[in-house]
Amino acid sequence: MKVLKTPHGELKTPFFMPIATKGAVKTLSSFDIERLGSPIILSNTYHLYLRPGMDVIKHFGGLHKFMDWDGALLTDSGGYQVFSLAKIRKLTEEGVKFASHIDGSRHLLTPELSIEIQQTLGSDIVMVLDECTPPDMSLTDLKKSVERTTRWAERSKAAFEKGRDASNNFGAQLFGIVQGGTDIDLRIKHAQDLMKIGFDGYAIGGLSVGEPFEQALEVIKALDEVLPKDKPRYFMGGGKPDEIVAYVKNGIDMFDCVIPTRNARHGLIYRFVHDDLSKPDFFESIHITNEKWKFDEATLAYPNDDDPISKELSRYSYAYLRHLFTVEEVLGQRLATLMNLKFYLGLMERLRS
């Protein structure tokens, strides 16, 4: 088991990062995340750069203080959101020009600016800016893109080191991001190029974007042979519970995914069926709005769990949660979010032991 040392705590791997996109895990406060026992959250550079803006974040001395979070914080580079959310964007060697999805204002996100924002946020784990390639890109274009991502990674590292002393969080780590689509050779080549630059950890980007799971797993298996054994590896944006088990078996240490929180808000609840994670049916997902739960008295907590969140969840029944979703009470989304994060964090705990 690897242990990541950050200025905001030591993180035992493998771990899962709840997503606090805009400085809050949806429906939850930092107090709730503490009670859940998650040692780390992930926040989004693109969103926080636009709102509240860096003037506010600077005034508070970083995102930790702004949202009163004392655990570790990983921030993405903003690249993924620029490529998926921004209205207009133009990619050049310098960076990516985009128009805000909120007010249409024009911005230029460069590797240097992304690092500067993340250092202002006071991130514990900073990500380099990479180009997020569409799944249907030709191999020629993909190669060119990956080469640019390598050059951006070099610039990111230089900017990271230059800005370190003035940052809101001395002692932060910088992670490179391996791209290359589902082309194994390109993936390996890119990993090697990034390792030459040298990073504190290596993320695998551009997966969990619609490709079959088996294809993603092949990439992960190939990279398991190449990436340094002593550095953490971060699978970006995935995945389902059984996929996470498979990725961990193949060397992945870190995950972030909207699945537990987004699905919770739609009433889809994950729960353990049995303890044998080697069998794919160790979990199930249920639709809480189903008639089946109308009279169900079972509590929302796992038996024997007595952490603060479980104590709260143990007060309410599946029938009550179903009712809250049926009448569209936000409390339902909140309780379901707590349940699914308990499940994902519990899954990681089982995988660690």
Positions that interact with a copy of itself (CB under 8 A): 22-24, 26-31, 47, 51-52, 55-56, 59-60, 66-68, 294-295, 297, 312, 315-317, 319-320, 322-324, 326-327, 329-331, 333-335
CA distance 339 to 18: 13
| Least separation in angstroms between CB 139 and a copy of itself | 39
For tokens 């008295």, name the residue.
Answer: 297
Distance of CA 139 to the CA centre of its chain: 27
Looking at the Cβ atoms of 208 and 340, the one nearer to a copy of itself is: 340
| Least separation in angstroms between CB 301 and a copy of itself | 12
The beta-strand segments (E) located in 154-287 are 173-178, 201-204, 233-235, 254-256, 268-272, 283-287
Show which residues are catalytic: 76, 256
CB atoms within 10 A of CB 37: 15
| Least separation in angstroms between CB 307 and a copy of itself | 14
In the three-class reduction of DSSP (H, G, I as helix; E, B as strand; rest coil), residue 85 is classed as: coil
| Least separation in angstroms between CB 104 and a copy of itself | 17
Looking at the Cβ atoms of 4 and 48, the one nearer to a copy of itself is: 48
In the three-class reduction of DSSP (H, G, I as helix; E, B as strand; rest coil), residue 54 is classed as: helix
| Least separation in angstroms between CB 130 and a copy of itself | 25
Looking at the Cβ atoms of 275 and 291, the one nearer to a copy of itself is: 291
Q: Which residues of 225-245 are buried (b: 16+ CB within 10 A; e: fewer)?
A: eebeeebbbbbbbbbebbbbb
Q: Is there a contact between 179 and 153 (Cβ–Cβ < 8 Å)?
A: no
Looking at the Cβ atoms of 162 and 311, the one nearer to a copy of itself is: 311
Q: Is the alpha carbon torsion for 213, 218, 219, 224 positive or negative?
A: positive
Q: Is there a contact between 80 and 45 (Cβ–Cβ < 8 Å)?
A: no
Looking at the Cβ atoms of 104 and 198, the one nearer to a copy of itself is: 104
